[in-house]
Amino acid sequence: MTQRRDFFRAAGAVALGAATVGRAAAAVVPEAVIRTSPAMEPPRAPPDGRPYNPVATLNGWTLPWRTKAGVKEFHLVAEPVVREFAPGMTANLWGYNGSSPGPTIEAVEGDRVRIFVTNRLPEHTTVHWHGILVPNGMDGVGGLTQPHIPPGQTFVYEFTLPRAGTHMYHPHADEMVQMAMGMMGLFIIHPKDPRQMRVDRDFAFVMASYAIDPGSATPRTSEMLDFNLWAWNSRVFPGIDPLVARTGDRVRIRIGNLTMTNHPIHMHGPHFQVTGTDGGWVPPSARWPEVTTDIAVGQMRAIEFDAVAGDWAIHCHKAHHTMNAMGHTLPNFIGTDLGSVAERIANLVPEYMPMGSTGMADMAEMGMPIPANTLPMMGGSGPYGALEMGGMFSVVKVRDDVRPGDYRDPGWFRHPAGTVAHEVTDDAPEPVQAPAPPASGVMLNVRKPTGHEGH
Ligand SMILES: [Cu+2]
């Protein structure tokens, strides 16, 4: 799993700049920890320093540090990575320390941190600490507050964390390309007093969008609107970890948005409150109950709720954001009889398969021939059949018997007898029905919007 790569032994290509960490760098820079697996690492308890309750990064991990004279030292390596979005599809991204998103950085309010950044990309970069008030020269805006970090060099950032909060890090250099390639990570600052804002489970993810054409593996970085993979921590359903909790647990989910549009995040089941933003904790008097919270571009939101047993869907409520590639340019055939046309088309195109004349749910079950390294538009199956979801979708799985610290998938919820919606089999009265529309028999052949209107 976590493998340590000796930075200096592997770093023939890494020339440490004189303007950066100096000649004594070999003794100064901590080794870089690299991890490439998309499996979630359980929350990592702090080995030293002030105690805190660590976060669970969905399909991610937390960056280890070393403490030197009271300063926590981290080492980020910006580099090309290969990321599995879901079984069956991997992408060539840029990230940090082997993964996209990069590892979560966790520290405590008041901590002094020193963060080394090595650039193994083919172009220059910087790191901006999104939402954290740092000395201006540490803010990471290439050209404005610092020179860019050239390929092969290591820069160092050092600052004190002013207050608890949920933050992100990302480049402020060639942003369009570098963020479209997956360069981002979470930066969690825990309260000095671990009893403050304490929860039992604390999940975190950052949202990113990618434009990866079916059959290819590298994002189109100039795309402005027409993304086809809507990801949480560079994963899409059915590849996203479930959020596992025990009945009665106080659960927090921290969500950041580094896509190009807003995402109304909706959770089924227990109501929640927004308890934190980039600006800090929301005072109790300013919170209100919600089931959906819209997260704008560049924002972070922390939501909290008391867990109720069940399998509760959590997803973006923009329906196109719960689909994967292969779904965005399909014509809408609802209401058309494709039977007779199909035979004629099949003579010309042998693999032609008419679908969607009663909706598109059949696609989730039948499976269409699709290019290699491409996910179907919707997939995943549950205890009752196909889920017909993709993209920004996961399940909050709450059980009575989950042990503290256990984040493993408990499987599907076992509904108590008589509590599942079911077919009416008794002597039911004939349902009242509206008369058939007079236009029946007329071909209905609309096309869905295909791109530049957004989704
Ligand atoms: Cu969305």
Cα(392) to centroid of ligand 1, in Å? 7
Helix (H), strand (E) at residue 177: helix 175-180
Cα(307) to centroid of ligand 1, in Å? 24
pLDDT digits (tens, 9 = 90+) for 64-115: 999 999 999 999 999 999 999 999 999 999 999 999 999 999 999 999 999 9
pLDDT digits (tens, 9 = 90+) for 29-52: 999 999 999 999 999 999 999 999
Cα(318) to centroid of ligand 1, in Å? 5
User: Would you give the DSSP letter of residue 362?
Assistant: H
**pTM for this predicted structure:** 0.84
Cα(297) to centroid of ligand 1, in Å? 11
Cα(247) to centroid of ligand 1, in Å? 28
Q: Chunked in runs of 10, what are the mean pLDDT values of the chain (455 residues)?
A: 42 42 62 96 96 98 96 98 95 98 98 98 98 97 98 98 96 94 97 95 97 91 88 96 98 97 97 94 96 96 98 94 71 61 67 61 62 84 90 96 96 96 81 70 52 39
Cα(316) to centroid of ligand 1, in Å? 5
Q: How many distinct helices (H) and strands (E) make up the chain?
A: 4, 28
Residues facing 229 on adjacent strands: 210
Query: How far, in Å, CA of 277 to CA of 345, rounded?
Result: 54
Exposure string for 23-50, b = 16+ CB within 10 A, e = fewer: eebeebbeebbbbeebebbebbebeeee
Torsion of CA 305, 309, 311, 315, to 10 degrees: -10
Query: How far, in Å, CA of 362 to CA of 369, rounded?
Result: 14
Cα(356) to centroid of ligand 1, in Å? 24
